[in-house]
Structure 1
């Protein structure tokens, strides 16, 4: 089966530039696609200093939807947005004041890769962080999702000019030999080549990313072994796929883009689950496919098809979810759900999840992470079954419970639930059911506007259209 490779190199073009991220692309371009991927054949997509985070998301989602092995190479710099203090990958137009709107949220990468099987997904990174992002990563880690193999480093801000992505260049140079060893071996060889330059860096080697409390930095002359564990705590990010309102300075209707569903920030516990496609939603239009700064590779390299639900999807469990909600292990429950979804037995899958949800509510309360986890699983199962209305209602309920429990309106988990509800609402074909759920969504949008402007207006406009039908 062909592999897929995404080469993403991004850094600001102005004075805030810490690293010449795109400088590594000519070296990577000299590597055969099959070697970059570790497969007999591969599709390779390059993104060099892209301008728009939504355009990067579109390419990332298409790559994540590929059924074969996926390797994502990321070179760039990390910055924190001033509002939520979350790490972002800075893009060409990013400044310190515009991180939230012009950079790619790191959790978007995690969210898009989370539905893939662990043995078919790898992330190779060479990142430089500014002072704020560096403190954040040292204290809290860099969460890449526990189902993704991650190798690379995060460097602190340098004192002299613009740095080079030396680790990624070492990786590319080793691959130019025409052989790709196991990624752990490749990582160790690359770290050994740049040991002096990477002293004091944070090393990512293993599943999930760098975890707080792990010793940063390589041992001189060799690379450290895998870093155990992942970032703890339940901190799911907003659903990356919703975009409300036309882009600034452009004309046209709003866009609702698909979100690859499942409980936020979830760990793999079972085999792949086929994600069933949903019917087209109301007033939907294609995502504006800005191609600025991107290019497809030739000679056997091609851009993967449009994104959808990946056949390599998995059902997983949420950090902070204990699995105490019902007899038997959580792994067994998720494995049974996965098997049922793969076989098309969606009713059976929902029954299993509903039983665990009820047990969690009785044992820990409806606002517990155990109960909310199963509620989110059921919302995703409805999406897999093609029941957008039921999925929308479930996400509305999850958002309502989180808000009633005192979670902030801009908390990532709350924004994620509302964004997913909005997305599923836009896919309801039955006008009567859409009219029924629309007012509740509009009320939530008043409280939870989300990261993109125009979300409430999008709901109100579509409700007016529904009233005329």
Structure 2
């Protein structure tokens, strides 16, 4: 088992809000004080790297930086301050960026589910998200009615607050994160739970929603007993104990990948996928989950061709389940397939995978404008006699 304290941590600070009259929070105002905090205090490790994004313009650029830090093996801490707005089409919250307006929300803001999607394959217990956010009226109504908890998936710790919409022409400040910063700069190094309690006490009177979701209990990694069996779960001749699925093995699989045992990790994930296929059937959510785990393990193992192929298969599986082309999970699978194809340096592999990816891009254009055209242009470069695209 990896000792997390022996690994260097990574802290990503994202402070963003629209420029102009749409700004509800002065998100970047906390950055100077936060920059004076030693990065290890932000991650709880002996050493740490700090990545700072101040008023970024492009959601795809933010996603690229997020993917880079998510791939780090050590503990990861995300500090996010800004404002949430509701996408009227899909009824999902988005984090506004510098160029976000009500008319450009779907293209110029960062969908919150992108963050959730990137974090879901990290080892449970290695990721912490600290938020200091302001909600617009519609997001606030959803959250206070418990129709949208600010969840980030299992295995991710969440601390912080979401403040209600401020009054007209009022711009608030990230007081919660400022309180955390003042505590750190005093030299104190409390646990995150204690830090949250102290910071929350300073902002609790403004009606904010407060979040304190600590690390999960450890799970026991296991290979499914059905991996080498001829009969599915519950088949005659199996004991009741054998018919009960083992605990969630994802942590052990990701531990193996982080330790460089990529073949072991891939084999275990494939075994769990086969069990899901036998138990729940092809195209089931359980089978797709393990297919996507295998796709990301291929990425971690430095095999972009295999990762692209598996993400394409996952996207097709979701579309065959009648999920819409603009469903976030479908878009996410296609975007990841496209990203992995972009990492290829082998012309033969790029040409072999391109037709399926292009056909998929025609069905699922995604949110990055001109993604299909970029893919086709890069394929033309692969066919040219000049050096391969970089």
User: TM-score, normalising length from structure 2?
Assistant: 0.80
Cα distance in 2 for residues equivalent to 1:387 and 1:30: 39
SS at match of 2:162: strand
Is the Cα–Cα contact under 8 Å of residues 123 and 149 in structure 1 kept in the other structure?
Answer: yes
Q: Which residue number in structure 2 is paired with residue 439 of structure 1?
A: 355
Cα distance in 2 for residues equivalent to 1:416 and 1:381: 16
Is the Cα–Cα contact under 8 Å of residues 357 and 374 in structure 1 kept in the other structure?
Answer: yes
* Further displaced range: 446-455 or 389-398: 389-398
Q: Which residue number in structure 2 is paired with residue 191 of structure 1?
A: 200
Cα distance in 1 for residues equivalent to 2:160 and 2:280: 39
Alignment match of 1:169 (pick from 178, 194, 219): 178
SS at match of 2:204: coil
Alignment match of 1:395 (pick from 290, 311, 323): 311
Cα distance in 2 for residues equivalent to 1:69 and 1:100: 31
Q: Cα RMSD between the aligned structures?
A: 3.2
The CA deviation string for residues 361-415 of structure 1, in whole angstroms up to 9 with x for no partner, is 2332212111112222232333344443333222222222221221101111111
**Cα distance, 1:358 vs structure 2:** 3.0
Unaligned runs of 5+ in 2: 1-6, 222-232, 235-241, 386-390
Q: Which residue number in structure 2 is paired with residue 355 of structure 1?
A: 271
Cα distance in 2 for residues equivalent to 1:73 and 1:9: 8
**Cα distance, 1:100 vs structure 2:** 1.9
CA pair 408-61 structure 1, distance change in 2 beyond 3 A = closer
The CA deviation string for residues 419-457 of structure 1, in whole angstroms up to 9 with x for no partner, is 222223333444334323221211111111111122222
Aligned length: 359
Is the Cα–Cα contact under 8 Å of residues 388 and 424 in structure 1 kept in the other structure?
Answer: yes
CA pair 342-196 structure 1, distance change in 2 beyond 3 A = closer
SS at match of 1:73: strand
**Cα distance, 1:115 vs structure 2:** 4.2
**1:262-277 equivalence runs, <5 A:** none
**Cα distance, 1:269 vs structure 2:** 5.0
Matched, 1:140 2:56: no
Matched, 1:179 2:185: no
Alignment match of 1:150 (pick from 138, 147, 158): 158
Matched, 1:14 2:14: no
Is the Cα–Cα contact under 8 Å of residues 76 and 89 in structure 1 kept in the other structure?
Answer: yes
Q: Which has the higher contact order (CA 8 A, sep 6+)?
A: 1
**Cα distance, 1:340 vs structure 2:** 5.2
The CA deviation string for residues 227-279 of structure 1, in whole angstroms up to 9 with x for no partner, is xx9xxxxxxxxxxxxxxxxxxxxxxxxxxxxxxxxxxxxx98578xxxxxxxx
Matched, 1:51 2:57: yes
Q: Which residue number in structure 2 is paired with residue 250 of structure 1?
A: none
CA pair 270-467 structure 1, distance change in 2 beyond 3 A = farther
**Cα distance, 1:61 vs structure 2:** 4.0
**1:397-436 equivalence runs, <5 A:** 397-436=313-352
Q: Which residue number in structure 1 is paired with residue 209 of structure 2?
A: 202
**Cα distance, 1:151 vs structure 2:** 0.8
Cα distance in 1 for residues equivalent to 2:158 and 2:348: 46
Q: Which residue number in structure 2 is paired with residue 304 of structure 1?
A: none
**Cα distance, 1:7 vs structure 2:** 2.9
CA pair 401-459 structure 1, distance change in 2 beyond 3 A = same
**1:306-317 equivalence runs, <5 A:** none
Query: Of Structure 1 and Structure 2, which has the larger fraction of its residues in helix?
Result: 2
